[in-house]
A and B are shown apart, each in its own frame.
Chain A
Amino acid sequence: MDYFLSVFNLRFILILFSGSFIGLVIGALPGLSVTMATALLLSVTYSWSFYDAIALMIGVYVVGVYSGAISSILVNIPGTPASVATSFDGFPMSRNGSSKKALWIATVYSFIGTVFGLIVLSLIAKPLSKIALSFSPVDYFLLALFGLTTVGSLTSKNILKGHISALLGVMLSMVGIDSIMGVPRFTFGSMNLQLGIPVVPVLIGLFGFSEVLEQISSQTNSQISLFNNNERVSIKEILKCWRISLISSAIGTVIGILPGAGAPVASLLAYDSAKKYTKNPEIPFGQGAPEGIAASESANNACIGGALVPMLTLGIPGDAVTAVMLSAFYVHGLRPGPLFIKENPQAFELIVLSTLIGSFFIIILGFLFIPVLSKVVLVPKKIMLPLIAILCIVGAYSVNSSLYEVSIMAIFGIIGFFMRKTGFSTAAMVLGLVLGEMMDSNFRRALSLSGSVRELITGTFLKPISIVIIVFIAFSIFLSIKSKTNAVKK
Chain B
Amino acid sequence: MNSEFILSLFFLIFSSFFIFLSAELLKYGPVGLSPGLFPMIVSILILLLSLFWLISSLQKKEDSKNTSISKGSWKLLFTIILTFSYIFLVPYMHFYYTTALYVFLLSMLSGQKNIILNLIVSFLSSTVIFFIFGKILNVALP
Contacts and interface: CB of A to CB of B under 8 A. Distances in A.
B46 A171 contact: yes
A401 B103 CA distance: 21
A250 to B, nearest CB: 34
B119 interface: no
B35 A403 contact: no
A174 B7 contact: no
A242 interface: no
A43 B140 CA distance: 10
B115 interface: no
Nearest to A441: B38
A470 interface: no
A368 interface: no
Q: Which of B11, B25, B35, B66 has the most CB of A within 10 A?
A: B35
Contact of B80 (A185, A380, A382, A414): A414
Contacts of B121: 383
Contact of B42 (A44, A171, A217): A171
B69 interface: yes
A444 B33 contact: yes
Given A171-B46, A385-B110, A386-B106, A212 B79 contact: yes
B2 interface: no
A61 interface: no
A374 interface: no
Contact of B90 (A218, A220, A398, A403): A403
Interface in B109-138: 109-112, 121-122, 125-126, 129, 133, 137-138
Q: Which of A390, A410, A443 has the most CB of B within 10 A?
A: A390
B3 to A, nearest CB: 8
A181 B34 contact: yes
A386 B107 contact: yes
Contacts of B46: 164, 167-168, 171
Interface residues of B, number: 63
Interface in A392-413: 393-394, 397-398, 401, 403, 406-407, 410, 413
Nearest to A388: B106
Interface in A149-181: 160-161, 163-164, 167-168, 170-171, 174, 178, 180-181
Given A386-B107, A386-B110, A389-B102, A164 B137 contact: no
A44 B90 CA distance: 20
Contact of A382 (B56, B68, B111): B111
B15 to A, nearest CB: 9
B9 to A, nearest CB: 13
Interface residues of A, number: 59
Given A382-B107, A382-B110, A403-B91, A394 B133 contact: yes
B102 A444 contact: no
A382 B112 contact: yes
Given A167-B49, A170-B42, A389-B83, A180 B33 contact: yes
A397 B141 contact: yes
Contacts of B122: 386
A380 B110 CA distance: 10
Nearest to A395: B139
Interface string A93-104: 000000000000
A451 B33 CA distance: 11
Contact of B76 (A44, A164, A217, A448): A217
A286 interface: no
B79 A213 contact: yes
Contacts of B67: 421-422
Interface in B13-50: 18, 21, 25, 28-30, 32-39, 42-43, 45-46, 49-50
Contacts of B36: 185
Interface of A: 43-44, 47, 160-161, 163-164, 167-168, 170-171, 174, 178, 180-181, 183, 185-186, 209, 212-213, 216-220, 380-383, 385-387, 389-391, 393-394, 397-398, 401, 403, 406-407, 410, 413-414, 417-418, 421-423, 439-440, 443-444, 447-448, 451
18 contacts: A47-B138, A161-B53, A171-B43, A183-B35, A209-B83, A217-B71, A217-B73, A219-B72, A385-B110, A390-B103, A391-B129, A393-B83, A403-B90, A410-B83, A421-B67, A421-B69, A439-B38, A440-B39
Given A168-B46, A216-B75, 12 more contacts: A216-B110, A218-B72, A386-B103, A386-B122, A389-B79, A390-B129, A394-B139, A394-B142, A414-B80, A439-B38, A444-B33, A448-B30
